[in-house]
A = this chain, B = another copy of it.
Amino acid sequence: MTVTIKDVAKEAGVSAATVSRVLNNSGYVYEDTRKAVMEAINHLQYKPNEVARSLYKRTSKLIGLVLPDITNPFFPALARGVEDKLQQLGYRVIFGNTDGDATKEMDYIDTFLQHNVVGLIASVDRLHHEVLTNLRVPVVTVDRTTEELPAVYADHKSGGRLAAEKLVRSACEKIVVLRGPQDAKPLYDRFQSATQYLSENNVSFHYLDCQLSFEDGRQKAKELFDQFPDTDGIIACNDLVAAAVLHEAVTRGISVPTDLQVIGYDNITISEIVHPSLTTIHQPTYEMGMKAAEMIIKLISKEKLNTIHEQLPVFIKERNSTVNGGI
């Protein structure tokens, strides 16, 4: 009787998909699991069906795109950049929202590989970068990057410093930083460089942890105004959170920018729409998507890259939520 992949899976106490992952060296598998599968293969003398495997490995024009959440207003422009560039180059995008959950990330990567993607573009928290290593296709990380893998990201060290510098130059003396999740490298970098600048310039500051949503921004803005009522400058971890701060300030009758200055991060459409319009750090989000797409196609075509770490510049966009603002 022929031994099948299902027999191996049963013997090893895992799913057939896991056996497939081990055989194809694709996707993340715990070392213990890998060992159990290899033992089952040896024990049962399983011979993978080469026809099936070659079919499985045939090439496609599909690129997998793994994002935390397309409804976070930062990501649509990034996804659009990826998709526009890939469309020009004759490729198509298969995409998934992971909510930063490692299990979902693994699941998407596995099934994308089963659908013959020839490359992956991923935005994954750095604690989970293991899921992206040892895949059988090239990977480019974007925004949430890691040093071990090809990466496209904005210069958040400059971004954080620019935000802090703006408030210090605009005479803020009691600053609160709303700090985003530190597992995400962009948020870590901008927080570190902002607070480093404040420390170097002997400006006192507090910080509060904050999720990247408008809802959490609203909650944290309330706590902030209750806890530190004499705050005169707020560095928010993104524009949604900054918009929530503005909203809460207006509700409390705090005048922006006279009594309180606020600076966001990203320069999403919302930052222009709110009133007063928001001073923010502009990220080249769409361009980052384009660059990541270019890089993955070069890796697939085995073209030489100038660098595997592509850092794009940011700049400050001054509007009316800080003094001496533009527009």
Q: Which residues does A use to contact B, with CB under 8 Å?
A: 55, 60-62, 69-71, 73, 75-77, 79-80, 83-84, 87, 92-97, 104, 108, 111-112, 115, 214, 240, 243-244, 246-247, 250, 269-270, 272-275
Contacts and interface: CB of A to CB of B under 8 A. Distances in A.
Contacts of A273: 214, 240, 243-244, 247, 270, 273-274
Nearest 7 A-B pairs (CB), nearest first?
A71-B76, A94-B94, A70-B76, A243-B273, A71-B80, A76-B76, A275-B275
Contacts of A62: 94, 115
Nearest to A286: B71
A319 to B, nearest CB: 12
B70 A79 contact: yes
B80 A70 contact: yes
A98 to B, nearest CB: 10
A277 B55 CA distance: 55
A318 to B, nearest CB: 18
Given A83-B96, A93-B95, 8 more contacts: A70-B79, A70-B83, A71-B77, A73-B73, A92-B111, A93-B96, A247-B275, A275-B275
A119 B112 CA distance: 17
A87 B66 CA distance: 13
A77 B104 CA distance: 19
A97 B71 contact: no
A83 B97 contact: yes
A5 to B, nearest CB: 18
A116 to B, nearest CB: 9
Contact of A61 (B60, B83, B111): B111
Contacts of A79: 70
